[in-house]
């Protein structure tokens, strides 16, 4: 005798979806966007290919002495300005977190002023500093004319480096604040001085937070050096302009400059990625050691 199927079994068979086949969702919007992007890129490539651009001239001036000289000046200024900015950033980040009100408010003013005024204005102020201070030095001991000291290189270094220091100070401050306060208290308990604690405990751990934004600032600095052309600093864009003023090959020389900027930025981006990876791996090892130590204490 066959038992009748229960109501639940009948319902399950009636509404079963086992026989249905999966139909992938069609993303018409994605296909449309991709098509439009490909068409736009093809039109751009066609415009550059058919435009009035003498590509042999691009190759001719790609390694021209004036361009290479400007490239080295750009790289040199990037290194020097970022080094000055990093030193000032660390100093003023420590000052703004100091319990000393004088140091704190000096740091607050420094960050407020140099972040609040345009970089171009700061470069012009440094370059024309002789209008305010005709001489520099200590009267009676050492003096020199400001116009002799404030060369385009020095004005660019001070303008870019001091401006960068204001931004780096906030980055460093954020990295310091990211360190667990318990470790700072433990360092104080064992008698570490503030400087030793900063050097051995705080900054090594803060680097994981500091490296990504500072890496971005380095890449931005490469491009910011082009602003210094207004005060006659011979970086790559200014030298390219000097060449195309002579031969009237404007677009060709601009393309040469753009390619070199992209090369430098690509190299720096790879370096930034490797640094981030290194500090992330180091932090992972430190975290594993802390877990093992906690487990040992618990046992």
> For residue range 86-128, what is the model confidence (pLDDT) as tens digits?
999 989 998 888 888 899 999 999 999 999 999 999 999 999 9
pLDDT in tens, 194-252: 777 777 777 777 777 888 888 888 999 999 999 998 988 989 999 999 988 888 888 88
CA torsion, points 165, 170, 175, 180, in degrees to nearest 10? 140
- Of 124, 77, 72, the residue nearest 218 (C-alpha): 77
Q: What are φ and ψ of residue 142, in 5° steps?
A: -150, 125
- pTM, to two decimals: 0.76
What's CA 147's distance to the chain center, in Å?
32
Give the distance, in angstroms, between the CA of residue 45 and the centroid of all CA atoms in the same chain: 30
Residues 6+ apart with CB under 8 A from 257: 67, 236, 237, 240
Torsion of CA 135, 137, 140, 141, to 10 degrees: -140
For the four alpha carbons of 203, 205, 207 and 209, in that order, the dihedral sign comes to: negative
């Amino acid at each position: 005798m066959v038992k009748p199927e229960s109501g639940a079994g009948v319902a399950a068979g009636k509404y079963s979806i086992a026989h249905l086949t999966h139909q992938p969702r069609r993303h018409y919007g994605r296909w449309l966007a991709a098509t439009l992007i490909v068409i736009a890129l093809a039109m751009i490539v066609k415009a550059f290919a058919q435009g009035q651009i003498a590509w042999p001239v691009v190759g001719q001036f790609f390694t021209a002495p004036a361009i290479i000289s400007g490239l080295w000046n750009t790289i040199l200024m990037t290194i020097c300005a970022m080094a000055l900015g990093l030193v000032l950033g660390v100093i003023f980040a420590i000052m703004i977190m100091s319990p000393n009100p004088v140091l704190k408010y000096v740091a607050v003013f420094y960050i407020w002023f140099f972040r609040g005024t345009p970089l171009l204005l700061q470069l012009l102020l440094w370059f024309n500093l002789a209008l305010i201070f005709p001489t520099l030095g200590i009267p009676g001991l050492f003096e020199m004319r400001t116009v002799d000291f404030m060369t385009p290189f020095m004005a660019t270094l001070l303008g870019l480096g001091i401006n960068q220091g204001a931004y780096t100070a906030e980055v460093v401050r954020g990295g310091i604040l990211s360190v667990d306060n318990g470790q700072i208290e433990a360092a104080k308990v064992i008698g570490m001085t503030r400087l030793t604690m900063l050097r051995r405990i705080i900054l090594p751990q803060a680097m994981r937070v500091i490296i990504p934004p500072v890496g971005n600032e380095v890449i931005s600095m490469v491009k910011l050096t082009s602003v210094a052309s207004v005060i006659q600093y011979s970086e790559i864009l200014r030298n390219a302009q000097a060449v195309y003023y002579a031969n009237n090959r404007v677009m060709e020389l601009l393309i040469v400059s753009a390619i070199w900027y992209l090369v430098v930025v690509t190299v720096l981006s790879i370096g930034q990625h490797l640094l981030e990876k290194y500090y992330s791996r180091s932090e992972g090892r430190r975290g594993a050691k802390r877990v093992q130590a906690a487990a040992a204490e618990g046992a």
